[in-house]
Structure 1
Amino acid sequence: MNILVDAQPLLGPATGIARYVKSIGELMQEDPHIQATFWINRLVKSIHLDAGWPVHNNRYPYKLIRRFMKPNLLYDLPVDAFARTKYDLFHGTNFTIQPIRKRCSVVSIHDLAFLRNPNTTSAKIYAHHSKWVPYSAQRAERVIAISEQTKEDIVELLHIPESKVDVIHLAADKKFKPVPSEAVRDTICKYNLPESYFLFVGTLEPRKNLLGLLQSFNQLKKTFHSEAKLVIVGAKGWKFDPIFQYVQEHGLQQEICFTGFIADEDLPAIYTGALAFVFPSWYEGFGIPLLEAMGCGVPVIASNASSIPEVVGDNGILLPPDAFEEWADAMRQFEIDSRHRDSYIEKSLERATRFGWEQTYEKTKSTYRKALGGNR
């Protein structure tokens, strides 16, 4: 099979979608039965795109075209944006497909937060996704949903037949495994982190419910006089000012550490050193940080919303995202009860073994075959 892969996510920060593209791309490069070309739309400046990957770099003004054209007009034009590239199928890895007249396509849809929770989505993303995601799902031969929850949303909100949607779970990189204590100490010193801490990893944006986490953590401090700190790893997204305002207003400046973005090579040690991983998100299409934490043997406290129970299963503590007292109680238990914490370390490690990029890739190839009529 000749596959043209949308590699645009690799040009930006190392988000979950970028990790998805990088992981299946690496496996494609090792597969003798797949000839993959990776499409980008500007000069390669990203460390995420390996030098040996075959790249199709065209610079057609797709953002400008999308801004002013309706989807039905663009996709009905007698134009193939990649006419000079040999391929059987285009894989839109990031919610949408490109104009590829009379060519086969698959689109990966990671979540429908812009429809399910529009108040947690920026106006820019809402305007783009609400215009192009439904049409891409309709035009593609197959749709990949990264969780059963996302599939349900696609069927309900985009009115796509259930039989057209394949659920293919994501995974965590193999580097996310328990790190020796000495390496943990070195990394904690490198970033000047506290010895005892709860950990959140993700973008600072409304959907992640960091205000709720701060309220739970404040409750932990007030009720139990906890000595643990809260470490928040992740880049600023949008509408993050209320997070810092809450910290200031409640005098938590010495209790909370905002690290900003941290490189992948240091994350396993930071995960491993945590008392527990806390993930109170309102909505997730999947939630790769959950598997990263569990792979490192870290107990998980997470919200019981959207796809999160599908990822965590019975191997973590699942709570309503706004049950602040329950979150404080759960955090306290992991702080003071080592036997309780040890039992959830084992549960996390066991759960992480159920997910792998090799499984994701094999199921993705199966979707390609379905899209091409099953004859490849």
Structure 2
Amino acid sequence: MTIGIILHPYSERHPAGLGRYIFELTKHMVEADSKNSYIIFTKGKKSVDFKGSNWKLSECPNGLFWLDRGLSRGPKADVYIFNTPIMPLFFKPKRSIVIALDYAYWIQAAKSFREWISKYVLYWYNKISLKRADKIVSISEATKKDTEKFFGIPAEKITVSYPGFNDFSKLPEEKINVPEKFFLYVGVLKERKNLIRIVQAFIEFYNLRKDFYLVVVGKTGGAYFEAVKKIVEASDAKNNIIFLGFISDNGVAYLYKHAAALVFPSLIEGFGFPIVEAAACGLPTITSITTSLAEVGDICKSILVDPYNIMAIRDAMLKTVAVATRFFSWDKSAYEMIAVAEKLK
């Protein structure tokens, strides 16, 4: 059987979140499968290199209807996998699988007429694609339920398959120059990631504990980042909030292994990769009681909070520090060792 995978959206530079999911899933399918052959379809020219000889690349042209033009003119597959609910409008795949990640665009309110138009056009396109697909794979139970609720897709058409994750615990560390005591956020700086409330919660934490810092990892820039920065600059905690921008995976591994906790109470999330990555490094995690994060957070033993409640996020920060102090302190270790020694008198 020949399987066609649409490797889009994917960027060779700093793939994260969706891009990383698409690349890693494709890579592992191609390299683990000795029975089937693969055609990797890309939008425009992409540098892709997988092990083995069971795959080939097919470049789709950029521009309008790129998917229709690329698939109709390119080599044919028996099954096509679309990594987002966007199938070609005119080309009819022999069989098709659509992957459902999240519907943040639909859940969030539009802030302008232009956004409102884009929202409904994308919804219409998603609905057509989901209904046409032979099978839908959802990355979480939460997204499965949203697919049923928003688009009227029957449950039996949807299979839940949790994605893998990059195991940062096995990566060599690249030391990052940060203070010893810090909370960590890793991810894009978008409104749905709830960074404003994370910052506000840390400011409340800072009013009680001034010896901790908040370290934010993610590409900076844009209107939302400027709104976050404005709140930071107006606070007494401004010197204790550090924006690192994009850093390497080895740098992230260092932070995961040295932070007090990961703070990741997103408003909307299809899965929540940082939660799993941090948990694999033994890092306590604070996340939302909503969407897929409650599902993933429960598996990872996260502290679950109402993402709209700033004081609840602050209290979770205080809790992680208190737990660490109670169970893992040098004084505690010293007293216990003395007690063991004294029993040998």
TM-score, normalization: structure 1?
0.77
| Contact in 2 for aligned 1:303/1:321 (Cα 8 Å) | yes
**CA deviation after TM superposition for structure 1 residue 168, in Å:** 1.0
Name the SS for the 2:304 alignment partner.
Answer: strand
The alpha-carbon distance between structure 1 residues 308 and 325, as it changes in their structure 2 partners (threshold 3 A), is same
**Aligned: 1:325 with 2:333:** no
Structure 1 84/9 Cα, relative in aligned 2: closer, same or farther at 3 Å?
A: closer
Post-superposition offset of 1:312: 1.3
TM-superposition CA deviations, 1:95-124 (whole Å, max 9, x none): 312343252111111111122223499939
Mapped partners of 1:80, 1:42: distance in 2: 10
Q: Distance in 2 between matches of 1:118 and 1:9?
A: 23
Give 1:292's match in structure 2, choosing from 277, 291, 299. Answer: 277
Contact 1:187 1:269 in 2 (8 A): yes
Deviates more, 1:259-268 or 1:280-289: 259-268
CA contact (8 A) 1:28 1:36 kept: no
Q: Which residue of 1 aligns with 2:342?
A: none
Contact 2:44-2:62 within 8 A present in 1 as well: no
The residue number in structure 2 matching 1:85 is: 75
Rounded to whole Å, the distance in 2 between the matches of 1:102 and 1:116 is 29
Is the Cα–Cα contact under 8 Å of residues 4 and 81 in structure 2 kept in the other structure? yes
Alignment of 1:109-120 (within 5 A): 109-119=100-110
| Aligned mate of 1:58, from 46, 57, 60 | 60
1:36 pairs, out of 38, 53, 65, with 38
- Measure, in 1, the Cα distance between the counterparts of 2:255 and 2:118: 31
Q: Quick check: 1:161 aligned with 2:154?
A: yes
Shift in Å, 1:85:
0.6
- Tell me the residue number matched to 2:332: none
The question of whether the paired residues in 2 share the 8 Å contact of 1:120 and 1:207 is answered with no
Partner of 1:246: 231
Equivalent-residue separation in structure 2 for 1:309 and 1:256 (angstroms): 27
| Structure 2 equivalent of residue 231 of structure 1 | 215
Question: What is the identity, as a one-letter code, of the residue corresponding to 2:198?
Answer: L
- Contact 1:228/1:335 (CA < 8 Å) preserved in 2? no
In 2, distance between residues paired with 1:325 and 1:341?
A: 24
- Cα distance 1:87–1:102, how it changes in 2: closer, same or farther (>3 A)? closer
Which moved further from structure 2: 213-222 or 80-89? Answer: 80-89
Post-superposition shift, 1:8? 2.1
Match of 2:127 among 134, 142, 152: 134
More relative contact order, 1 or 2 (CA 8 Å, 6+ apart): 1
Q: 1:204·1:238 contact (CA, 8 Å) conserved in 2? A: no
Structure 1 residue corresponding to 2:169, chosen from 156, 159, 177 = 177
1:226 and 1:332 in contact (8 A); partners too: no
One of 224, 239, 253 as aligned partner of 1:268: 253
Structure 1 unmatched runs, 5+: 67-73, 343-376
Is the contact between residue 60 and residue 70 of structure 2 (CA under 8 Å) also seen in structure 1?
no
- Where 1:126 maps in the other structure, the secondary structure is helix
Q: 1:58 and 1:203 mapped to 2: Cα distance?
A: 28
Q: For residues 319 and 341 of structure 1, what CA distance do their matches in structure 2 show?
A: 22
Q: Deviations over 1:5-51 (max 9, x none)?
A: 11123325412222222222222222111211211121225xxx326
| Letter aligned with residue 177 of structure 1 | S
Aligned partners of 1:125, 1:268: CA distance in 2, in Å?
37
Does the aligned pair in 1 maintain the 2:272–2:296 contact within 8 Å? Answer: yes
* SS of equivalent to 2:10: helix
Q: Which residue of 2 aligns with 1:95?
A: 85
Describe the shift of the 1:187–1:331 C-alpha distance in structure 2 as closer, same or farther (beyond 3 A). same
Are the structure 2 counterparts of residues 102 and 248 from structure 1 closer, same or farther at C-alpha, using a change threshold of 3 Å?
Answer: closer
- In structure 2, the CA distance between the partners of 1:120 and 1:147, relative to structure 1 (3 Å rule), is farther
* Counterpart for residue 17 of structure 1: 18
Structure 1 residue aligned with 2:341: none
Q: Which amino acid aligns with 2:175?
A: T
Match in the other structure for 2:8: 8
Q: Normalising by structure 2, what TM-score?
A: 0.84
**1:217-250 C-alpha deviation (Å, 9 max, x unpaired):** 010011x133110011112465332111101111
Range that drifts further, 23-32 or 118-127: 118-127
Q: Which amino acid aligns with 2:217?
A: V
Gaps of 5+ in 2: 329-345
* Closer/same/farther in 2, CA of residues 208 and 266 from structure 1, 3 Å limit: same
RMSD: 2.6
Cα displacement string for residues 255-285 of structure 1 (whole angstroms, at most 9, x for unaligned residues): 1111111222322111111100001111111
Q: Does 1:147 align with 2:140?
A: yes
Q: State the Cα distance separating 1:178 from its structure 2 match.
A: 6.5
| Number of residues of Structure 1 aligned to a counterpart in Structure 2 | 318
Q: Which amino acid aligns with 2:16?
A: T
The one-letter amino acid paired with 1:170 is P
Identity of aligned residues (%): 28
Cα separation, 2, equivalents of 1:290 and 1:120: 29
CA distance in 1 between partners of 2:106 and 2:187 (Å): 21
